[in-house]
Structures are given as C-alpha cells and as structure tokens.
Amino acid sequence: MHFYLEPGGKLTGSIRVPGDKSMSHRSIMLGSIADGTTTVSGFLEGEDALATLAAFRAMGVNITDPEAGRLTIDGVGLRGLSPSDQVMDVGNSGTSIRLMVGLLSGQSFDSIITGDQSLLRRPMARVITPLSQMGALISSREGCPPLEVKGGRALTGLHYDLPVASAQVKSSVLLAGLYASGQTSVTEPAPTRDHTERMLAGFGYPVERQDGVIGLQGGGTLTGTDIDIPADISSAAFFLVGASIAPGSDLTLEHVGVNPTRDGIIRILRAMGADIDIINPREVGGEPVADLRVRYAPLKGIDIPVEEVPLAIDEMPAVLIAAACAEGVTVLSGAEELRVKESDRIASMAEGLTQLGIRNTVYPDGISVTGGEMSGGVIATHYDHRIAMSFAMAALRATDRLKVSDCAHVATSFPGFAELAVETGLHLEVAAE
C-alpha cells in the first residue's frame, strides 16, 4: 500500500486522533495480572496494541473484543497467567516484546516471543542485560528476537542505572520487579514517559519516585480498575506539524494526552515559532489531557534541547519535517535511540529529506537539517509507520507530487490515518501500487 499526495493544501477543522498506544499496551498487561475486572475506554485498535491483546489471551486471560475503543479484562492476578500453547507473535511491536519479556521473566512457565521481519532485526540486549542480572534466563538470536524466556526462575530485585534514557527498558525492569524478591529500582539519565508508573499506581500498586529514581517492592497486588485512555500525542504530532507548516491552517486536536513526560513535541515546535494553544487542560484517570489548537506560523531552525529529546523521541521524524520547512538550521543530537526503532529513523529521514532536496548532515546521535524548498519524488519508508506519516505531511509544502511507498505499517499505530488526513485537508490517495 502506498500514499500518493498532491502538493499544497491546509489543515482545518476539529478531530480526535486514536488512543495512546503506550497506554493501550500497558492497560492490557497490567489489567491481565490484576485481581478483578478492568474496563478500558479509548483503547487503540491498531495492530501493535491488538498484538499485545492476543498474546495475553493466549496466556489464558479473558479479554472482550474492542468495540469503539472499549473492552473489559478479567484479570487473573499476578501469578495467574498460563503458558501459551504457541509462540507469541507480536508483529511489529517493540513495546510489546520489550515489556513482555520483563513480565514473562517472573512466570513459572517457558515462553517464546517473536515478531515480523522488522522486529527480528531490532536489538534486545538492553532489556536482556538487566533482566539477566535479576536472575532471568533469556535466549535470543544474537541479541535479537525470537526471545525464549525460561520460567521458574527466582528473580531478585536490583538497582539499575539506565545507560540510555528508555521508557521501554525502565518498564521492562519494573514489570520484572513485580515478581522479584525485595526492591527493584531504576535511575534514569533523563526523564522518559512515565505511563507504567502512573498506571501501576492506578491499579493500587505502590511506586516510589524521587530524584530520577523509580522503585517498587515485589510481591504486591494489582486491583482491577477503570482506565480512560486519551488521544495519542505521538499521533497528534503529525497534525501539529502539518498545520504549523501549511499556510491558512487552523486545526484543533481534541482530548490529547499531555503527560509532562510526553509533551516535548509541543515545547520543541513552540521554540521553533509554532502557534499552539493548550485549551481546557484537565485530568482524566490520573493523566493530564487537553485540546490543542494549532495555526500556521513561520518556523525558524533551532538547536533542539537535549533534555527534550527523550520526551519527544517518537515524534522526531515529524519534527524533522518541520525543520525542513523552517528558516535556518535545526540540529538534533542525543537521539541515539532513533537508530533502533522500526527503522534507523535518522538514516530513513535523511534519505527522504535528501530525495526532496533538503540539505542535511547525519551524525551518530542525530542530524542537522537546513530548511528550504521541498520538491516531489518517491519516499522509501523502510516499512516504518512514523516515516510514512511524517513524509505525508511534507506534501503540504512540496512543489510536486509525492509517492510515499510501503505504508501498510501505518495501521500498527494509527488506523484511519489516511481518512482523517483527507478530512482535514491533505490531498492524499491510497493505492495498492
């Protein structure tokens, strides 16, 4: 499946993007190991989150089919999961496999987790290392999936200093810590998204947070609860950028999660000169939520603050499209994490920007982009959903037609993206060839 885009246009109206993917994953995982029933609304019915749902069903958890983002989970308790009679395939979802391997390390049974060809190339050593130090036994294919997790291991809590800021590694260690004896804690070199900590607290599990250290005691109990998942700011990011770069745009994004460990995209775009208003801020189920109104404004290049990078790591491909439309040079550094996403996102974005005539220089941990006029052309996405959606927004400022190739993976995080983009004003057609 490919996107074909005519140049120009503007984004207007009022829309709600799908529910937060990070929270959707965690709602299934924690609801499954809680005592009692958990009701979820706003669940993202994308392929990644559905892969997590299928995996926990395979381990004996009764989960209703999502209907308009609502589902019910009959939790089996911390020790109530059953062995799957099959290899659990989580498709393209790095979040699923990295968090699940932590949770599965504490089970009494063996498990095997695999994924698609893209996932099989993604490094897992950064979660295997701390989990092994806790006593887990995990086999991999040269540090990549499939991962075979040995059951019946006695885990011991540890303190782990994260070498790189990563919410996935932090969460994996904390989930293993639920099954470990004693205290498990993690120190972050920089703040990362804190949905795991917030949601554990929502399930009644005590979590200590102080001065960059997050810790918990093993052996507690989670209690079923109601979870309302806000719209995903990572999905909203494409529209924030699109409306910022397209003259005449005036777009409102409704009920967006603005968790302070996720809202780096807003601060970065504002620093570039974007016109973004935060309207009706409120709290829903322990998570801050607001409506975001964004209007076109001329952008300028900036040095992206290093401390903001972990708070907007998934949004960086979209930010680089904004950089391509800004006056001057934008410099991104401290973003090594982008090298190990669904694609090497630094390399993928550099390749696409070069194709559109935008000058850029690649570094091991980032990229510099010089704003200019974007031409048309054919963009290779490397089967990465965020690369596809970012370059779709580039058409708003391109001078010629764009073809964005291999976009089927967009459904992993943003089902209905093309329809919503057309509704707001993007000149986009979807075709098989």
Question: What are the residue numbers of the active site?
Answer: 314
The pair of three-digit structure tokens given for residue 164, joined into one six-digit string: 């790189």
The pair of three-digit structure tokens given for residue 248, joined into one six-digit string: 């005449």
Kindly tell me the burial class for residue 346, based on how many C-beta atoms sit within 10 Å of its own C-beta (0-12, 13-18, 19 or more). buried
Q: Which residues pair with 266 in a beta bridge?
A: none
Run of H or E residues at 2: strand 2-5
CA pair distance 369, 333, nearest whole angstrom:
12
CA pair distance 237, 276, nearest whole angstrom:
12
Q: What are phi and psi of 401, to 5 degrees?
A: -65, 145
Whether the CA torsion 257, 263, 265, 267 is positive or negative: it is: positive
Half-sphere exposure of 361 (CA within 13 A, CB side): 6
CA pair distance 100, 343, nearest whole angstrom:
21
